[in-house]
Structure 1
């Protein structure tokens, strides 16, 4: 189960998004804690809004007073309303919102049923509910709820999305839709710090991305185009502008993803480096042999060569963890020119040099090999930050409906606040 948490000052927008779903028959109200209910047992947006608004002090120092969260079980889960309600209660209690007014909506407008919760981040005295390490705590809570209720682990959601996303095949038609599915999955699941690393990921899906620079009326613009390729990386179709695919895949979005990835990759660099080192110490004779042995280590390698056959780029990809690292990011001893020199003369293996790479008998500490099992606060924080960034604002879907829903939420947030009081007068 994956939780997506957001904070906003737009109470009307958060409630309006969910109540519009209710009006269309695409959602239902499962629970309303500490909120007014009419004689028929129904809840209206005006009444819920008025109740929550009245609890926010006029001189409240917290600007983003609204808590909005969605809880997304695995698409294969079929949970009763009673079970979903129980999960919502347990989640809010554990996160520190058990005494807050909140309302729970179940959305059924797409195949994957999920719930949304709207609450307040401040109590009646204007004191802010503790949100320190909120997303980290949320991840631990959802993990615990998965165990308690016997739910399918959220890790399988990510793996399923990666495994079920096919290569782009121009022969099947709907090229833009195929490209969109691949790009959105990669943007949600993977961390990368350069376009080269992103293209290394795309290589498994017969796709590449290119940066374009244009000038219009004296102003310079940066953009991206996505180009379908064949299995050898050759372009086989007309480039598709990122703007034609939709929001969240353009130049700014990719740049933001790179910035977030810089922190997220830190806990895994030593692990990837260790696997590569141990593989190279088996002295693979060819690039194909290297690829095969790395796959046994759970890694995929993407090698870039110039026209003369010289290796000028090498990227290691862990599809399970969703991370791509250029060799140079592992350290100077793992740069592309080192691998080029090695494959030019495999008889001389620099990775066996203990003065450069350490003793062949050395082993990483268990805390490095298995970061999720660490007990220290520092290591927990590193892993939690990685998980937080991977789950931040994005549920990994197996279709197209989830990103449309997210886009609709963003649109609503940008609208002006709903003026409920004006309606009542």
Structure 2
């Protein structure tokens, strides 16, 4: 038994994929059903006049709940479980595995559907779950799911007497190495077009990478939950070296890190955070010599104002003395 995971930002496409054949249609041009709905949780299942599932109605229910938490963009958890060729698995066992999985991974009380497919030589089924519950909470974390799903598969094989499937996916260490290479390429690709760490953070966020800044820099892959320190990726990816490659000096950056929301820093309650340093934007940043010059000008201005105030006070004192006389 092998489990595969993908995340999505909409339910309609996932449900349509699991329920209908991707290409074939009948004589009337209607889609052919290939998925058998085995189980539904916290959803109203309705049908069209042709007895097919009302996919759009199901998708709208997912979306309605997901809108309670706009911080989680990819709210759909699409899980597939594949069994080895020749192994016959009953509908009842598939539903039990799906319910065990929902309980183990945090969406037992959320919306989810279970579809069975028979269009391949091996038995397999799909789970389409909403990570958001009725209270607007993201209850299904996607951190370290590679290892967790593999352990779950081994437990299910033992619990339900299924044949043990050798894991043909890449070992974790090798997988991390591949992810690290991918991350380096993403950073190298986007750095030339960025002037600040803020711009780099936004560019990488669009690729599913979250940037965290403190004394150093780290990168987290939102899909796998794996985090890499910049220095672990190589010398060229430490915070100091990245800032150097951006043409920014450490002296112009404040030492503290802050969590902000791009585009709306005052009220980022319903948006995904990007972590970056407190440093001026490209428009606000100025060369050091210009900043020193402005500082000197401001100092001279304050001295001039002090002289003027002293002169005015002296005049007032003379007037007072004249009146006394």
- TM bucket (normalised to shorter chain) is 0.3 to 0.5
Higher relative contact order (CA 8 A, sep 6+): 1
Name which one, 1 or 2, has greater alpha-carbon Rg: 2
Structure whose residues are more often helix by fraction: 1
TM-score (norm 1): 0.36
TM-score (norm 2): 0.47
